[in-house]
Structure 1
């Protein structure tokens, strides 16, 4: 079958949307680290819409950990298909990514960061990609950060971490007399912009104090949140895309039709007119972020770990389990919602109903195993912060502790069966998995919460409930 590329766009059926602009006239105004599925489903699609009005906001992708995206998209001239999953699936070819660089091209990465046309550097490198400690600040003991500090002592140094690349690129811009940039984190971290700003300046202070001062004075790190369920690409999607488009696409992307991107209105220079793509610019992102992290991502993780323990495969499967779906709704309405301050215009009860409907969408095959990745990095933001607030307020935490109990059983099962898990702390987690109390003692995951008797007892009750086949540690 003919491959998707700039030369084959004309062969697309009329029903498949394609870029409504001259790609040869597009300039790269954005450098994005982590051009995986999440970015290509959301930010790249939004910039694709903007390019129809303003050709200065194309994207240079940077993949530091693998060549997979570059190898898939380079023969396709950066083009890929986005499938929007609803009652009827809509297909759209996205053209905003102009090229994808890898760690094997450090000179090209630095040149992109230090180019006069670049005004935004953005990131979706997952929670673990920022090398933060349990307190949310840069972990200087992290091997990648230690390596960057050591490498920076040599002229023309090449970073390994994303934060290292930020410092290196901003250092190059300062020395070239270029203006500062907007650094836009799009990962699921509470206060993501502020955390990245503090981490970047902290690393810069160790490497180049003058650059640290320049970053603080000229760059902006707005908070942001992105929401849309994005299942992993599989062969079934590739086959559906080939049938719909008549072209082979090595790495198409799928997501639900619903999408939300909220960005703090705090830019170092020009702000892209992304409102044409439905982006919300707000003075305060935290209320939107908290609602999403707690009322969508928290229940997502709960469905993942509890659902896997019940032999289920997808989120839709979990929602078809009436007992589990009822538990998720009680968790959201009774235990999580009290900790969420609704942003203006957001009805929390309706938001919860909408999220539950999105979870149950049968068109979306979102694997629980995918959601279960990196639990040690996700759970602190998705459920543990809510648990701390509930404890402080004197509210029950038994339902909040049940997904943690399910995660501990997930770890124990993996260790017992000799399976690995996808988590940066896989080795210590699996080594301790036979004794769940030793996992709770890991401060890099639980902080002081692991020593709180109320929490430990609630987790123990949750484990007992799950082992008995129940989803309630409290009386019904």
Structure 2
């Protein structure tokens, strides 16, 4: 592919004339290929000139990203991986990056500025301090305990948000809107729960004020953005951007669905394809169950069969067939109708996206952080199928595949390097589950009461025994013939 022949699209607007309206916390690949791109498109149209992004972070890795971005005037390289040909653009919607500090003083000061009307977040699915078993805010997390005791010098994004909201309230400045861009069901509600829950630990009256006065719109976000490594940096070099250490690659597809709840105003994102609706929950349930649940379904068999890339897993008839059967029989039947959307067509689009060889997304990335992702992406479909008295063998096998993966070796005996924040504990339980399956499904934080369901317990035990005795390929073959 001759990518050098394609010119790199540069910002077609005067970045020096932009003013900040948004602080965004968590400058990972997804944000830079999603929200920043939508804003860049608006700015190209001559709109949203007062909605430039001020980048921010609260962790050590964020400081490294800040250094990299400031070195290139906060321009992000975005390479779209269309099988028909790659294209590159430099996105200029972010024009500054706040210093990353242990007490977040600079971040708090920036968010106190009246010009900031939206604070947005991509802090990953696991960054919201939610107990997976209860679905509620977890006040016992160490960082939350710290921030409750030290509200003026918080360590977390949520603590910093509260400190800024408190300062704005004292100064008579209206509160900004808090907009989660993370891949969570009801992400606005989840964010509100974390922030109000943290406030309640130290100042219940202020917690009530936040709950009554701060907007937390729900949203659904979607775009596949692989991790950046040597391959992605080589692509940037082919476009003449070899000095960029943090280029982002992504699929051509993107989607954003939002509640229109922005008391302090918002960019005209509907002009660039964002859907504003009161039915966000329907879109997000569709995406989380069909796409993210689909990712989880193909991740662990691919990992156990030593398959590196997602498109290679999709080309394997056993994994592809497994995905089809689980989706059509055990996931899609429990997805509620979505406005103007055919679920069968949506699933066909998902298959096409997963199969894009240009994206070169890795199975290892899909396997990462199952302890946070399985309760959100797989267990809800399993619960619905159990409640309906319907088939659950496929979803039980998905869970068994995750357990087998966490034992730490592939079917060929290759070592699987740690791939979950709780890897040590998961590996211990996965090895114990070989002789006692209840050791795995008894994890209340993952399965809640579902692990005690006799039908699920029996199906899980059968699937796990087959994986250990016969391997992944034979187990998938048996499932597909059932």
Give TM-score, length-normalised by structure 2.
0.91
Report the counterpart of residue 217 of structure 1 in structure 2.
212
SS at match of 1:76: coil
SS in 1 for 2:407: helix
Contact 2:103 2:153 survives alignment (8 Å): no
Contact (CA 8 Å) 1:78, 1:97: kept in 2 or not?
A: yes
Give the equivalent residue in structure 2 for 1:9. Answer: none
Deviating runs (4+, > 4 A) in structure 1? 414-420
Paired residue for 1:423? 420
Q: What is the CA deviation profile of residues 223-277 of structure 1, one whole-angstrom value per residue up to 9, with x for unaligned ones?
A: 1111111111121221221221355211100110000011112223212211122
Give the 3 Å change call, closer, same or farther, for CA 103–329 of structure 1 in structure 2: farther
- For residue 104 of structure 1, report the CA deviation from its aligned partner: 4.5
Does 2:24 align with 1:32? Answer: yes
SS in 2 for 1:408: helix
- Paired residue for 1:80? 76
Corresponding position of 1:459? 460
Question: 1:131-182, CA deviations, whole angstroms, 9 ceiling, x for partnerless residues?
Answer: 1112222111111111111213xxxx21112222222221121112111221
Note the aligned Cα RMSD (angstroms): 1.9
Aligned partners of 1:62, 1:414: CA distance in 2, in Å? 38
Report the counterpart of residue 120 of structure 2 in structure 1: 122
Match of 2:475 among 454, 459, 470: 470
For 2:233 and 2:425, how far apart are their aligned partners in 1? 37
In structure 1, how many angstroms separate the alpha carbons of the residues matched to 2:73 and 2:263? 30
Counterparts of 1:181-220 in structure 2 under 5 Å?
A: 181-220=176-215
Once residues 149 and 343 of structure 1 are traced to their aligned partners in structure 2, the CA distance between those partners, rounded to angstroms, is 40
Deviation at 1:297, TM superposition (A): 0.5
How far apart are the structure 2 equivalents of 1:225 and 1:308? 28
Deviation at 1:363, TM superposition (A): 0.9
Q: What is the alpha-carbon distance in structure 1 between the residues aligned to residue 272 and residue 5 of structure 2?
A: 24
Q: Which runs of 5+ in 2 are unaligned?
A: none
Task: Return the alpha-carbon distance in structure 1 between the equivalents of residues 238 and 414 of structure 2.
Answer: 40
What is residue 138 of structure 1 aligned with on the other side? Answer: 137
Report deviation, 1:348: 0.6
The residue aligned with 1:98 is 95
> What is the alpha-carbon distance in structure 2 between the residues aligned to residue 112 and residue 279 of structure 1?
27
2:36 to 44, 52, 59: 44
Distance 2:38 2:324 in 1: 31
Distance 2:30 2:384 in 1: 29
The alpha carbon displacement at 1:189 in A equals 1.2
Distance 1:19 1:447, change over 3 A: same
- Report if aligned partners of 1:46, 1:277 keep a CA contact under 8 Å in 2: yes
Name the CA shift for 1:420/1:164 in 2 (closer, same or farther; >3 Å): farther
Q: How many residues align?
A: 461
- CA distances 1:6-62 after superposition (whole Å, capped 9, x unpaired): xxxxxx998211112111111111111111011111111111112231211111122
SS of aligned partner of 1:435: helix
Distance 2:222 2:304 in 1: 26
Task: Specify whether residues 103 and 442 from structure 1 end up closer, same or farther in structure 2 by C-alpha distance, changes over 3 A only.
Answer: farther
Shift of 1:364: 1.1
Structure 1, unmatched stretches of 5+, are: 1-11
Aligned pair in 2 of structure 1 residues 407, 435: CA closer, same or farther (>3 Å)?
same
Q: Distance in 1 between matches of 2:137 and 2:162?
A: 13
Deviates more, 1:313-322 or 1:240-249: 240-249
